[in-house]
Structure 1
Amino acid sequence: MAHGFGGCLLSFTILVLALIVPCSQSLRIKNRIKTKSAVFLSPKFDLGPGSVQEKNYYDIDFPRGHIAFKRFDAEVVDEAGRSVPLHEIYLHHWALVRYRIRKDVPDVEHDATQKRNQSNFVYVRNRGICQGTVLGQYYGIGSETRKLSTFVPDPYGMEVGNPAEIPDGFEERWFLNVHAIDTRGAVDRLGCTECRCDLYNVTKDEHGHPLSPDYIGGLHCCYDQTRCKVREGFQGARRSLYIRYTVEWADWSDFILPVQIYIFDVTDTWTGLNSAEHHCKVEYDIAESCKTTTDGTNHECIDTKRNKARIPSSGYVVYGVAHQHTGGISSTLYGEDGRVLCSSIPIYGKGKEAGNEKGYIVGMTTCYPQPGSVKILDGETMILESNYSSSQPHTGVMGLFYILVADKLPNPSLSMHSPL
Structure 2
Amino acid sequence: MTLRFAWVLVTASLQFASGTVQRFSVFSDPIFLRPSEVHNRYVLPKALPEQIVKQFANQTMHVKSLQLDILLVNNTTGEKTPAPLYKTYNHHHGLMLGSHDDLMQMYKYAQGKDPFDPSLYPNQTDAFQVRELAHAQAHAHASVHGACMMKRRSFESLINSALPQAKRSSVTVFGGASGAEYRGTSSKLAGPYTYGVDSPEGFMALIHFINTHGAPESKKLWECPCTTDRNINISNGTIDGKVPVAFDCSEQLLQERNTACSLATYQGGYRCCEHGVFLTEAPHPRGPIQQIEAKFTFEFYAPDAPEVKSARRTMQPSCCDATQPKLEERSIFTGGNVEYDVPQCAPGTPPEQCEHVLSNIEFFDVSGDNASDSEEEFELVHAWGHQHVGGNGLELYKESTGELLCRTHPKYGAGKKAGDERGFVVGIPPCVWGPPPLKPPPRLRRSDHMRTVARYNSTQSHHGVMSLWFLTATPVKSQGAREEYLI
| Alignment TM-score, normalising by the size of structure 1 | 0.76
Partner of 1:157: 194
TM-superposed CA distance for 1:45, in Å, is 0.6
Cα distance change of structure 1 residues 376 and 185 upon mapping to structure 2, 3 Å threshold? same
Q: 1:305 aligns with which of 355, 358, 373?
A: 358
Partner of 2:69: 75
Cα distance change of structure 1 residues 60 and 379 upon mapping to structure 2, 3 Å threshold? same
Alignment of 1:228-307 (within 5 A): 228-229=279-280, 236-251=287-302, 253-263=308-318, 264-271=320-327, 277=332, 279-291=335-347, 298-307=351-360
Give the secondary structure class of the aligned counterpart of 1:144.
helix
Partner of 1:366: 430
TM-superposed CA distance for 1:194, in Å, is 0.4
Query: Once the two structures are superposed, what CA deviation does each residue of 1:52-78 show, in whole Å capped at 9, x if it has no partner?
Result: 111102423445442122111112102
Partner of 2:84: 85
Cα distance change of structure 1 residues 292 and 317 upon mapping to structure 2, 3 Å threshold? same
Most deviating of 244-253 and 255-264? 244-253
Give the secondary structure class of the aligned counterpart of 1:208.
coil
Give the secondary structure class of the aligned counterpart of 1:260.
coil
Q: 2:148 aligns with which of 129, 133, 140?
A: 129
Tell whether the 8 Å contact from 2:47 to 2:100 is kept in structure 1 after alignment: no
Cα distance change of structure 1 residues 101 and 81 upon mapping to structure 2, 3 Å threshold? closer
Partner of 2:269: 218
Cα distance change of structure 1 residues 356 and 230 upon mapping to structure 2, 3 Å threshold? farther
TM-superposed CA distance for 1:84, in Å, is 0.9
User: 1:328 aligned to 2:379?
Assistant: no
Report the count of equivalent residues. 369
User: 1:205 aligned to 2:239?
Assistant: yes
TM-superposed CA distance for 1:33, in Å, is 8.3
TM-superposed CA distance for 1:43, in Å, is 0.8
Q: Distance in 1 between matches of 2:415 and 2:481?
A: 45
Q: Which runs of 5+ in 2 are unaligned?
A: 1-17, 74-78, 129-142, 157-172, 233-237, 245-261, 366-373
Partner of 1:14: none
Give the secondary structure class of the aligned counterpart of 2:46.
coil
Query: Once the two structures are superposed, what CA deviation does each residue of 1:325-348 show, in whole Å capped at 9, x if it has no partner?
Result: 011000011012111111111000
TM-superposed CA distance for 1:181, in Å, is 0.9
Cα distance change of structure 1 residues 256 and 238 upon mapping to structure 2, 3 Å threshold? same
Q: Distance in 1 between matches of 2:39 and 2:351?
A: 36
Cα distance change of structure 1 residues 251 and 148 upon mapping to structure 2, 3 Å threshold? same
| Alignment TM-score, normalising by the size of structure 2 | 0.66
Give the secondary structure class of the aligned counterpart of 2:271.
helix
Tell whether the 8 Å contact from 1:200 to 1:222 is kept in structure 2 after alignment: no
Q: Distance in 2 between matches of 1:404 and 1:393?
A: 32
Cα distance change of structure 1 residues 117 and 201 upon mapping to structure 2, 3 Å threshold? closer
Query: Once the two structures are superposed, what CA deviation does each residue of 1:353-405 show, in whole Å capped at 9, x if it has no partner?
Result: 10000000000011112443422246321101111111111111111001111
User: 1:345 aligned to 2:409?
Assistant: yes
Q: Which runs of 5+ in 1 are unaligned?
A: 1-31, 163-170
TM-superposed CA distance for 1:234, in Å, is 11
Q: More helix per residue: 1 or 2?
A: 2
Tell whether the 8 Å contact from 2:269 to 2:464 is kept in structure 1 after alignment: yes
Most deviating of 62-71 and 151-160? 62-71
Q: Distance in 2 between matches of 1:225 and 1:276?
A: 29
TM-superposed CA distance for 1:34, in Å, is 3.0
Cα distance change of structure 1 residues 276 and 359 upon mapping to structure 2, 3 Å threshold? closer
Q: Distance in 1 between matches of 2:283 and 2:335?
A: 41
